[in-house]
Chains A and B, each alone.
Chain A
Amino acid sequence: MSGRVHVAIFVVACLIGLMFASVSTYDFAQHLDRQVHDLHCSFVPGMSAKTADGGAAGCQVTMMSPYSSVLRAKIWGGIPISLPAMAVFAFLAFRGIDLFGRRGRSRRSAAAFLFAASTIPVIASIVMGTIAMVELDAACKLCIGIYGASLVAFLAAGLAFMAIRRAPPEDGVQDEAPGPVALVGLAQLVGFVGLAVLAWVLAMPDYSKFIGTCGKLSDTADKGEIMVPLDQNNGADTIEVFDPLCPACRAFDRRLAAAGLDVKLHRKAVLFPLDNTCNWMIDSAMHPGACTVSEAILCAQAGAGNTTTKQVIDWAFESQEKIRDAAKIDPAAAKRMVDERFPDLAQCVGSDKVQQRLNRSLRWAVAHSIPVVTPQLYVNGTKLCPEDTDLGLDYSLAGLLEKNGGGR
C-alpha cells in the first residue's frame, strides 16, 4: 500500500502534463498550414484565449520564438519541443501505471528509476522557464501548466520512492537489479520520443514547392537613392520593406537575429511607414509617428549628425509603443521625442530634402506594386512568402538563399 497514493498522484500529474503539452503541440501543428490561428492559451487545457489581453500574447511570443522547436532549418517549423514533452509525459505515466501494479520490494528499482526519470521534465521546465523569463519576457499559460505538472510529478515520484524504499520486504519477492531497469526504461523512453518524432516527420507536407513563389521585384537597383543599409554583412543582397514603428518588423528582426540568419543577408531597408501623415496609401495611421522616425533614419544614414541608423532603429524598436501612443494623441510628439533623443538630427528631420527622399521611398513601393504591408523581405529580388516569416522562416529563408544564391 505504501507509496501507492503518491504513485497515483504522479500518474495524474503526468496525464495533466500530457494534456497541456498536447494542446501546445496542437496549436503548433495548426500553424503548419501557413495560416494565422488563435491559440489555446489557458491554465485550463484546451480553453481558447482569443483576446489580446487574454494571455494569448505570451503563448504567441513563446511559440514563435526560436526556442519552441528544433531542426527548423531542416523541417518547416521544426519539431516542436512540446511533442517530445508529450512523449515524456506519456512515458512517465506508463511507468507510473507499471509501478502501481507492482508488489513489495520489486518496486524499489522501478520507483528509483521513476524518480530519476521525473527529473527530465523538471530540468526542461527550469531551462524553458528561464528562457521565457529572461530571453522572451513572456509568460505562456500552457507552458506554466507543463512546469506545474512536472513539479508535482517530480515531488510525487520522490515521495513514492521514499515510501517504497522504507517498505518492509515481502516474502518471495525479489527486487530487480537497478542497472537493467534503467537500461530498459531508457530504451522505452527513446522509443516513446522516437515514435512521436518519426510520425510527425512522416506526416510533414512538402514545403519546398512554396519557396520563391510569392513574386519578384522587377529590378533591385536603387535609382532614387532611397535604400538604407541595415548591416555591413557580406551576405545575399536583401531588400526589406520596413516600418520602424511596426511591431511585426521588430519581431521579424529579432527572429532573424535569434536564428542567426541575419548574418547570411546584406539587408537594405526601403522605408515604408504605415502612417498617413506621409503615406497616402492608408486612410489612418496604423503606426503614428512612423513618418518622423523614418525621416530620422534617413537623416542618420545621410550623415546629418553623429547618430548612426542602427542607433535610431534600436531606439525606435525599444520605444515603439511609447512613440506610437504619444503621436496618436499629438502628431508633433514624435518629432519632439526624436529631437530629444537625437539632437544632432533635429534640423534634418522635417526638412524638405528628407521628406522628398521618404516620398521617393514610398513611390518605390508604387513602382514595384508591392503589397501595403510590413515587413517584406526580398532576397536577391525574390520575395520571402509572408506565410513563411514566422515559424517557417529558417526553412524558407535557407531554401530561398539556396535557390537565389547565397552571397554577393
Chain B
Amino acid sequence: MNVGSVIAGVVLAAVPAVMGFTWVGSAEKRLEETETGTESSDNPVAAIAAAADEGYCNGDLRKILRRVLQSCGLLQSGEVRGCQPVQAKSVATMQGGDFNALFMPLSQRAGIIQFEQDSADLDAADAKLLSEIFKDQRGASYFFVVARSSPEGSVEHNRELSQKRADSVMAHLRQSFNDPDLDREVGLLWLGEEFAQLEQDFCSWKRSGEADKCKPKDINRSAFVAWIDCRL
C-alpha cells in the first residue's frame, strides 16, 4: 500500500467520525440553549385545556358570578347549596331588572321550566326541557338554577315554594345524569316572589309551558336554568 493510499485511508476514515461527532455536538449545543432558554424551541406551544369562556363573560358578569358562587359555596367545597333570597340580593347588589339583564346573552343556552300554581313537581314537558338544556353542557363550568314563584300567597310560602322548585330541578338532574361533577357545577338560587321577577321579554325563550301561558304570573312560577360559559 503506497503513501497516497494510506493518506486517503486516514482522511476517509476520519470523514464519518468527524462529521458525526460535529453534528451530534452541534445538536447538544442547541439542546443546551433550548434548555437554558437562550434559544426558543421551534415547536409551537400548545394551548392548555380549559373550560369555555364566551365573549359575554365581561367583568361585571364575572364579578356577580363569583359573588353568587362564593355565597352559594360552590367555589369552595361545593357542599353548601342554594342561596336565600336575601343573600341573592346582597351578592348581586343590584336591581332585579339588572340582575335579569345579566342572563340575557344566554338565550341559546337557557330555558324556563314552568310549574303549575303552588306546585314544585316537574311534569314530562318540564323534565324534557331540563334534560335537553343540561345535556348540552359543552365547555360550560356552571349550571344556574334560579327558581321563582308568582306573587300569590305569603312571602314566606313563596320563598319555600321556590326553594322546593330549585330542589326539584336538582333532584331530577341527580336522578337522570350520572355526572360526578354535579355538586360542583350546579348553583341553586331561590328568589321567591321578592327579587328579579321575570318580565314577559322572556316569553320568547325556550319554555316548558304552553305557548299562550306566559303572563307574568305564569312565567314566574318557574325555574330559570342555564349553562354559564364563563371561567372564573
For B6, the closest partner residue in chain A by CB is A98
- The distance from the CB of B47 to the nearest CB of chain A, in whole angstroms, is 5
Chain A nearest CB from B135 CB (Å) reads 5
Kindly state whether residue B5 has any CB partner on chain A within 8 Å.
yes
A213 CB to closest chain B CB (Å) equals 10
CA distance A6 to B52 in the complex (A): 71
- A372 x B24 contact (CB < 8 A): no
Known: A101-B5, A356-B135, A370-B49. A33 touches B27 (CB 8 A): yes
Best-buried of B14, B16, B19, B24 by chain A (most CB within 10 Å): B16
Contacts of A365 in B (CB 8 A): 49
Taking a contact as CB atoms under 8 Å apart, the answer to whether A90 and B15 are in contact is: yes
Chain A minimum-CB-distance residue to B45: A371
Q: Verify B17–A35 contact, CB threshold 8 A.
A: no
Q: Determine the chain B residues whose CB is within 8 A of the CB of A30 once the complex forms.
A: 23, 27
B94 contacts A by Cβ under 8 Å: no
Q: Contact check, A203 vs B9: say whether CB atoms are below 8 A apart.
A: no
With CB as the reference atom, state the residue of chain B lying closest to A278: B138
A165 CB within 8 Å of chain B = no
Given A29-B24, A200-B21, A372-B46, decide whether A34 and B31 contact each other with a Cβ distance below 8 A: yes
Which residues on A sit within 8 Å (CB–CB) of B48? 369-372
Flag whether B13 is at the interface (Cβ < 8 A): yes
B179 on interface, CB distance cutoff 8 Å: yes
B49, A29: Cβ atoms closer than 8 Å: no
For A343-375 the 0/1 string (1 means CB < 8 A from B) is: 000000000100110011011011011111100
State whether A35 touches B138 (Cβ < 8 A).
Answer: no
Whether a CB of chain B sits under 8 angstroms from the CB of A86 is: yes
**Least Cβ–Cβ distance between A94 and chain B, in angstroms:** 4
Contact A98 B1 (CB under 8 A): yes
Interface assignment of B104: CB less than 8 Å from any CB of chain A: no
> Quick one: which of A101, A198, A363 has the most chain B CB within 10 A?
A363
Inter-chain contact A26/B23, CB cutoff 8 Å: yes
Within 8 Å of chain B (Cβ to Cβ): is A20?
no
Residues of A within 8 Å of B27, CB to CB, are 29-33, 205
Q: What separation, in Å, do the CA atoms of A363 and B139 have in the docked complex?
A: 7
Q: Which residues of B contact A408 (CB under 8 A)?
A: none
Q: Are B8 and A22 in contact (CB under 8 A)?
A: no
- The contact of A90 among B12, B21, B50, by CB within 8 Å, is B12
Instruction: Given the known inter-chain contacts A94-B13, A191-B13, A355-B135, please indicate yes or no for A35 contacting B19, CB distance below 8 A.
Output: no
- Tell me whether B49 and A281 are in contact (CB under 8 A): yes
* Minimum Cβ distance to chain A for residue B40 (Å): 10
Complex CA–CA separation, A152 to B20 (angstroms): 25
Alpha-carbon gap, A214 to B173, bound state (A): 38
A188 in the interface (beta carbon within 8 A): yes
Look across to chain B and name the residue whose beta carbon is closest to the beta carbon of A200: B20
Instruction: Map CB proximity to B onto A65-107 as digits: 1 under 8 Å, 0 otherwise.
Output: 0000000000000000001001100110110011001000000
With A83-B20, A280-B138 as contacts: A94 and B25 at CB distance below 8 Å = no
Within 8 Å CB of B20, what residues of A? Answer: 25, 29, 83, 86, 196, 199-200, 203
Partner of B23, one of A29, A34, A223, A366: A29
| B42 contacts across to A, CB distance below 8 A | 35-37
Contacts of B155 in A (CB 8 A): none
Q: Evaluate whether A199 and B17 lie within 8 angstroms (CB atoms) in the complex, with A97-B8, A281-B139, A371-B47 already known.
A: yes
B79 CB within 8 Å of chain A:
no
Nearest neighbor of A97 in chain B, beta-carbon distance: B8
A30 to B27, CA, bound (A): 6
Which chain A residue shows the least CB distance to B176?
A: A352
Q: Closest Cβ of chain A: how far from B187's Cβ, in Å?
A: 17
A204 at interface by CB-CB < 8 Å: yes
Give every chain B residue within 8 A of A355 (Cβ-Cβ). 135
**A280 contacts B139, C-beta separation under 8 Å:** yes
Give the complex CA separation of A336 and B42 in angstroms: 39
Contact with A along B1-41 (1 / 0, CB 8 A): 11011001100111111111111111110111010000001
Asked if B205 lies at the interface with its beta carbon under 8 angstroms from chain A, I say: no
From B17, B18, B43, B179, name the one whose CB has the most chain A CB atoms within 10 angstroms: B17
Closest chain A residue to B18, Cβ basis: A199
Contacts of B26 in A (CB 8 A): 29
Which of B's residues lie within 8 Å of A, judged by CB? 1-2, 4-5, 8-9, 12-28, 30-32, 34, 41-43, 46-52, 131, 135, 137-139, 177-181
- Closest 10 pairs between A and B when the two form their complex, measured CB to CB: A280-B139, A29-B23, A32-B27, A203-B24, A371-B46, A196-B16, A365-B49, A199-B17, A86-B16, A33-B30
Complex A-B: 29 CB contacts under 8 Å: A18-B15, A22-B16, A29-B26, A29-B27, A32-B31, A33-B27, A33-B28, A36-B43, A83-B16, A86-B15, A90-B12, A91-B13, A94-B5, A97-B4, A98-B8, A188-B9, A191-B13, A195-B16, A199-B17, A200-B20, A225-B178, A278-B138, A280-B138, A280-B139, A360-B179, A360-B181, A369-B48, A371-B47, A371-B49
